[in-house]
A and B are shown apart, each in its own frame.
Chain A
Amino acid sequence: MIKQLFASFLILLCMLLIQTGILSNIPELPVMPDLLMITVMYISFYNGIFIGESVGFMSGLMVDFLSSAAFGLGCLSRTAIGFLCGFFHRTINTKGVIMPAVLGAAVTVSKVLLNNFISLFYPQNQITAYNIFSYSFLFEIGINAILTPFVFFFLSLFNSFLVTSNSEMR
C-alpha cells in the first residue's frame, strides 16, 4: 500500500506539472481539464476507499498550494471525491471509452456540487461558488469527459505500481 501511495504521489505530481505548467498556458482552451481529479478517480476506483481518500487529500493539498482559492478547499472537496470513487471500488466497469467518459462527467458535476455545498458553510467572499448555468461549467464537464478515457488508458500502463493486488483496506 505504501508503494501505491508513493506511486500515486509521483503520478499526481506529474499531472500537476502538466496541468499548471503546460495546459494552463494554452489560451485556446476555454477551461482547463482537471487531470488531477481524473487521476484520483482512477486510483480510487482501483484501490478502494482508504487509498482513494488519501490520494484525494494529497491532490487537494497540491491544488491548494498552487491555487489562489482558500487553503483547504481543494483538500476538502478532493478527499470527498476520493472517498466517493473508492466507495464504488470494483463495482463499476472502468474499461473502454463510454464508461470512463460518463464517470468523468459525473465526477465533475459532483465536484462542482461539493464546491457549492462547501461554500455555504464558509464566508461567501472567500469561497466562490460555481455558476452551474455557465458555459465554463459545461466546457469543464465536456473536456473532462473527453479526456477521462485517455487518462485512464495512460494510467493503466502503470497498474503494477498504482493498483493493489487485493484491496486490503476496503
Chain B
Amino acid sequence: MPNTSQFRFKSRFPIFFFFFLILVSGTLLGLSTHGFIIDFRQLGFSFVSTFLRGTHGIYSGIAGLVTDIHQNTVLRQEKAQLEEQLADYIYLQQTNSVLRNENDKLKTQIGYMQSLNYVYYPAVIIARDMDVLYTSFTINKGNADGIKKNMPVIAIQDGREGLVGKVIEVSKRSSKIMPIYDYRCNISARIVPTGDIGLLNGMGAFDIPLSLKYVQNTVINEIKVGDMINTSGENENYIRNVPVGRISKISMLDYDSSLSIEVVPVVNFSRLESVFAVDIKESEAVANRFFFDNFGNDNFGNFDAGAGAIGNTGYDAYTDGAGAEAGRGVVGGAQGGVALPARTPAVTPAPQANRAGSVQGYTAQNAAPLQSAPPNTETATPQAVPPAFSAGQGDGQEDDH
C-alpha cells in the first residue's frame, strides 16, 4: 500500500507543483495589483443588494406614482432656476479662463520662468515592452546617472521638443518609461490658443490619437484642428508648457457637456531613439526662492527647502568636476557626464536661454559661471540667486512652437 500511495504522489507531483506555481503567481499578481482574487465582502454585498434593489424597486414604483404629479410642478420651477445658474456658471468659467491667461502672461512678464532651470539627462532607448498590451520603454540611464522616479521625459525631433512620458521605474543603470500613449497615462494639458485645460489620456498605441477630455463644449467655436496642446503643469509629474500634440479631430457629444478631442502627439514614437529625462524639483525650489526674495511672500513654498536645493546643486556640480565637462553640448556630447553641467543653470541661467534652445545652449553658455562660482557662495548668500536669475527675465520664451 505505501508503494502505491508513493507512486500516486510521484505521478501526480507535476499537478501539485502546477497548482503551487499558480498559487505563487496569483499571490504575486494580487500583491502587485493591490487586489485580491475574490472580495468576499463585495460578493456578499452584491448578493444581498440584489434583493434590496428588488424591494426598493417595488416600493419606489408605488411611491413614485403618487409623488410624480406633485414633483412635476416643483421640477418646472427648479429647471428655471438651474438654467439661470448655468448661465452664471458659464460666464464664470469664461472669466476664469481669461484670468488664467492673464495670470500666465503676468507670470511670464515678472520672470517666473521655471523652464530656465530644468536639468536634462540624455538617454537612449534600449528596449521596448515585450508585451503587446503594454507600452513601456527601457532607457540606458538609471539612478546612478541621476534619473529619479516620476521624472518627465521629453524628446527633440527636427528641432522641436515634445513630451514622451515619465519615468515609472528606476534601477541603477536603466529606467522604465511610460509613454504618453499608454492606457494608464493621464496628463493635465492645456489648449494653447484658448488656455482651456483638459485631461489627456493615451489609447494604448502610438498610432492611435490621444484623447483630450473634460474640455467644455462651450469653447467649440474657439478651438480648431491643428491647435497645439501643451502640458499645463498642474499635476507635479509634468513640467509646464511642453508641447504634447496637435488637435486632429473635435467632436461634440449630445449626451456630454465636454468635447471629445483627438490629439496627435508631436513626437513621432516610431522614430524615437533618444530622450531627455527632466528634473524639476530643483527648479521649483529656485522659482520659490525667487518669489520669496522679490516679493517677501513665502506663500509660494518653503524658503529653506529652496535654499538647500540650490546650495546642493551648486555644490554637487562643483565637486563632481562638472565644470570640466561643461563645454560639451548635451546633444552631441558624451553621455556620461552631460547631466551635471546642466545643473548649473539652476543657479545662474543664461539670459537668452529658452527651454527648447537650452538643451544645447546651457552647458556652453554656463561653463564659466560654474567654474568661477565657489560652492559656498550659493549656499550661504540667498541674495546671490535673484540677480543671476533675474538676468533671464523677460528674455526667455515660454514656447516657440
Contacts and interface: CB of A to CB of B under 8 A. Distances in A.
15 contacts: A20-B130, A20-B138, A25-B127, A49-B18, A50-B14, A57-B21, A57-B25, A66-B138, A68-B176, A73-B29, A123-B33, A125-B184, A126-B34, A136-B132, A169-B13
Contacts of B15: 49
A75 interface: yes
Those 6 A-B pairs whose CB atoms lie nearest each other, nearest first: A72-B29, A72-B28, A68-B136, A75-B25, A76-B25, A24-B128
A70 B17 contact: no
B34 A75 contact: no
Contact of B38 (A27, A121, A123): A121
A47 to B, nearest CB: 11
Instruction: Assign chain B's interface to a size class.
Output: 35 or more
Interface of A: 16, 19-21, 24-25, 27, 31-32, 34, 36, 48-50, 53-54, 57, 60, 63-64, 66-76, 79-80, 83, 86, 115, 118, 121-123, 125-128, 130, 136-137, 140, 169-170
B95 interface: no
Contact of B14 (A73, A136, A170): A170
Task: Give the one of B21, B35, B138, B183 with max A CB within 10 A.
Answer: B21
Interface of B: 13-15, 17-18, 21-22, 24-35, 37-38, 125-136, 138, 168-169, 176, 178, 182-184, 204-205, 270-271
Tell me if B's interface is mostly helix, strand, loop or mixed.
mixed
Tell me if A's interface is mostly helix, strand, loop or mixed.
helix
A9 to B, nearest CB: 15
A53 B18 CA distance: 6
A24 to B, nearest CB: 4
B18 A121 contact: no
A26 to B, nearest CB: 10
B32 A76 contact: no
